[in-house]
Amino acid sequence: MNRPVVPATTAAKVDWHHTLGRLGLCWPRAFYASKAFLFCAGAAPLVWAIMAWGVPVHSMSLAQVWSLGFASVVLWYPLWEELLFRGLLQGELIARGWTRCWVYGLSGANIAVSLLFTVFHFWSHSPIWAALVFFPSLIFGYLRDRFDSTMPSILMHMWYNGGYFFFIDSSKLPTQFDLQ
Protein backbone atom coordinates (compact mmCIF):
# COMPACT_ATOMS: atom_id res chain seq x y z
CA MET A 1 0.00 0.00 0.00
CA ASN A 2 1.43 3.39 -1.01
CA ARG A 3 1.60 6.07 1.62
CA PRO A 4 1.08 9.71 0.66
CA VAL A 5 4.20 11.83 0.65
CA VAL A 6 4.16 14.79 2.99
CA PRO A 7 5.24 17.84 0.91
CA ALA A 8 7.09 19.73 3.63
CA THR A 9 8.09 19.14 7.18
CA THR A 10 8.50 21.65 9.93
CA ALA A 11 12.28 21.15 9.79
CA ALA A 12 12.29 21.96 6.06
CA LYS A 13 10.30 25.15 6.69
CA VAL A 14 12.69 26.21 9.43
CA ASP A 15 15.71 25.59 7.17
CA TRP A 16 14.09 27.54 4.31
CA HIS A 17 13.37 30.52 6.55
CA HIS A 18 16.87 30.29 8.00
CA THR A 19 18.37 30.35 4.48
CA LEU A 20 16.27 33.36 3.47
CA GLY A 21 17.31 35.10 6.68
CA ARG A 22 21.00 34.41 6.04
CA LEU A 23 20.67 35.92 2.55
CA GLY A 24 18.95 38.94 4.06
CA LEU A 25 15.80 38.38 2.01
CA CYS A 26 13.38 40.16 4.28
CA TRP A 27 11.48 43.38 3.73
CA PRO A 28 12.60 45.90 6.37
CA ARG A 29 9.99 48.29 7.73
CA ALA A 30 9.75 51.59 5.85
CA PHE A 31 13.37 51.55 4.60
CA TYR A 32 12.24 53.53 1.54
CA ALA A 33 11.37 56.47 3.83
CA SER A 34 14.71 56.35 5.64
CA LYS A 35 16.97 59.36 5.20
CA ALA A 36 19.90 57.02 4.59
CA PHE A 37 18.11 55.20 1.76
CA LEU A 38 16.85 58.42 0.18
CA PHE A 39 20.31 60.00 0.40
CA CYS A 40 21.86 56.97 -1.36
CA ALA A 41 19.18 57.12 -4.07
CA GLY A 42 19.67 60.86 -4.49
CA ALA A 43 23.44 60.41 -4.85
CA ALA A 44 22.97 58.30 -7.99
CA PRO A 45 22.30 61.22 -10.40
CA LEU A 46 25.39 62.96 -9.05
CA VAL A 47 27.43 59.80 -9.70
CA TRP A 48 26.02 59.55 -13.23
CA ALA A 49 26.82 63.22 -13.92
CA ILE A 50 30.41 62.81 -12.75
CA MET A 51 30.79 59.68 -14.86
CA ALA A 52 29.27 61.34 -17.94
CA TRP A 53 31.60 64.32 -17.50
CA GLY A 54 34.66 62.05 -17.49
CA VAL A 55 33.92 59.71 -20.37
CA PRO A 56 32.20 59.75 -23.75
CA VAL A 57 28.51 59.01 -23.41
CA HIS A 58 26.77 56.43 -25.60
CA SER A 59 23.13 57.45 -25.85
CA MET A 60 20.44 54.81 -25.65
CA SER A 61 17.57 54.36 -28.07
CA LEU A 62 14.03 53.63 -26.94
CA ALA A 63 14.30 50.16 -28.50
CA GLN A 64 17.26 49.43 -26.23
CA VAL A 65 15.31 50.50 -23.15
CA TRP A 66 12.66 47.89 -23.90
CA SER A 67 15.22 45.20 -24.79
CA LEU A 68 16.00 42.01 -22.93
CA GLY A 69 19.58 43.23 -22.57
CA PHE A 70 18.53 46.35 -20.66
CA ALA A 71 16.17 44.31 -18.47
CA SER A 72 19.04 41.92 -17.72
CA VAL A 73 21.52 44.57 -16.57
CA VAL A 74 18.89 46.51 -14.62
CA LEU A 75 16.90 43.67 -13.05
CA TRP A 76 18.64 40.29 -13.20
CA TYR A 77 22.32 41.20 -12.74
CA PRO A 78 21.69 43.35 -9.65
CA LEU A 79 19.43 40.70 -8.13
CA TRP A 80 21.95 37.87 -8.49
CA GLU A 81 24.99 40.03 -7.69
CA GLU A 82 23.38 41.30 -4.50
CA LEU A 83 22.26 37.84 -3.42
CA LEU A 84 25.78 36.50 -3.96
CA PHE A 85 27.87 39.40 -2.67
CA ARG A 86 25.69 41.16 -0.09
CA GLY A 87 23.46 38.21 0.82
CA LEU A 88 25.77 35.21 0.88
CA LEU A 89 29.29 36.66 1.31
CA GLN A 90 28.58 39.77 3.40
CA GLY A 91 25.95 37.83 5.35
CA GLU A 92 28.51 35.15 6.18
CA LEU A 93 31.11 37.72 7.24
CA ILE A 94 28.50 39.44 9.40
CA ALA A 95 27.68 36.09 11.01
CA ARG A 96 31.41 35.65 11.74
CA GLY A 97 31.59 39.01 13.52
CA TRP A 98 32.92 41.35 10.81
CA THR A 99 30.43 44.04 11.79
CA ARG A 100 32.87 46.36 13.58
CA CYS A 101 33.12 49.75 11.85
CA TRP A 102 36.48 50.20 10.14
CA VAL A 103 36.35 53.39 8.12
CA TYR A 104 33.68 56.14 8.29
CA GLY A 105 31.12 53.76 9.73
CA LEU A 106 31.63 51.07 7.08
CA SER A 107 31.92 47.52 8.36
CA GLY A 108 34.80 45.19 7.64
CA ALA A 109 32.35 42.86 5.88
CA ASN A 110 31.24 45.69 3.58
CA ILE A 111 34.79 46.74 2.68
CA ALA A 112 35.98 43.16 2.06
CA VAL A 113 32.96 42.29 -0.10
CA SER A 114 33.22 45.60 -2.00
CA LEU A 115 36.86 44.83 -2.86
CA LEU A 116 35.85 41.38 -4.11
CA PHE A 117 32.88 42.86 -6.01
CA THR A 118 35.27 45.29 -7.73
CA VAL A 119 37.69 42.51 -8.70
CA PHE A 120 34.84 40.56 -10.32
CA HIS A 121 33.97 43.58 -12.49
CA PHE A 122 37.39 43.61 -14.15
CA TRP A 123 36.26 40.90 -16.59
CA SER A 124 33.49 43.03 -18.09
CA HIS A 125 34.71 46.63 -17.63
CA SER A 126 37.82 48.63 -18.35
CA PRO A 127 40.19 48.90 -15.36
CA ILE A 128 39.12 52.45 -14.46
CA TRP A 129 35.41 51.58 -14.61
CA ALA A 130 35.93 48.40 -12.62
CA ALA A 131 37.79 50.39 -9.95
CA LEU A 132 34.96 52.94 -9.83
CA VAL A 133 32.49 50.13 -9.08
CA PHE A 134 34.01 50.06 -5.58
CA PHE A 135 32.18 53.22 -4.47
CA PRO A 136 28.60 52.20 -5.36
CA SER A 137 29.42 48.80 -3.89
CA LEU A 138 30.17 50.47 -0.56
CA ILE A 139 26.73 52.11 -0.75
CA PHE A 140 25.03 48.77 -1.42
CA GLY A 141 26.96 47.16 1.45
CA TYR A 142 26.11 50.05 3.77
CA LEU A 143 22.41 49.50 3.04
CA ARG A 144 22.83 45.77 3.72
CA ASP A 145 24.40 46.57 7.10
CA ARG A 146 22.01 49.40 7.97
CA PHE A 147 18.78 47.50 7.32
CA ASP A 148 20.00 43.92 7.92
CA SER A 149 18.45 43.05 4.57
CA THR A 150 19.49 42.71 0.94
CA MET A 151 16.22 44.17 -0.34
CA PRO A 152 17.34 47.82 -0.10
CA SER A 153 20.69 47.01 -1.69
CA ILE A 154 19.01 45.07 -4.52
CA LEU A 155 16.67 47.99 -5.28
CA MET A 156 19.51 50.52 -5.07
CA HIS A 157 21.72 48.41 -7.34
CA MET A 158 18.89 48.28 -9.90
CA TRP A 159 18.54 52.08 -9.68
CA TYR A 160 22.29 52.68 -10.13
CA ASN A 161 22.55 50.18 -13.02
CA GLY A 162 19.48 51.67 -14.71
CA GLY A 163 20.97 55.14 -14.72
CA TYR A 164 24.44 53.95 -15.66
CA PHE A 165 23.30 51.98 -18.69
CA PHE A 166 20.61 54.48 -19.70
CA PHE A 167 22.68 57.65 -19.41
CA ILE A 168 26.29 56.54 -19.68
CA ASP A 169 27.18 53.33 -21.44
CA SER A 170 24.55 51.55 -23.48
CA SER A 171 27.39 49.99 -25.53
CA LYS A 172 27.90 47.46 -22.68
CA LEU A 173 24.37 46.05 -22.92
CA PRO A 174 24.28 42.35 -23.70
CA THR A 175 22.89 41.58 -27.15
CA GLN A 176 20.27 38.98 -27.95
CA PHE A 177 23.09 36.59 -28.93
CA ASP A 178 24.89 37.10 -25.60
CA LEU A 179 21.75 36.11 -23.71
CA GLN A 180 21.18 32.85 -25.60
SS (H, E, C) 65-99: HCCHHHHHHHHHHHHHHHHHHHHHHHHHHHHCCCC
Cβ pair 94, 145 in contact under 8 A: yes
3-state DSSP call for residue 101?
strand
According to DSSP, the residues that pair with 101 across neighbouring strands are 107
User: What's the pLDDT at 9?
Assistant: 53
- The whole-model pTM stands at 0.81
pLDDT in tens, 2-31: 555 545 555 555 566 677 777 888 888 889
Write down the pLDDT at residue 174.
Answer: 56
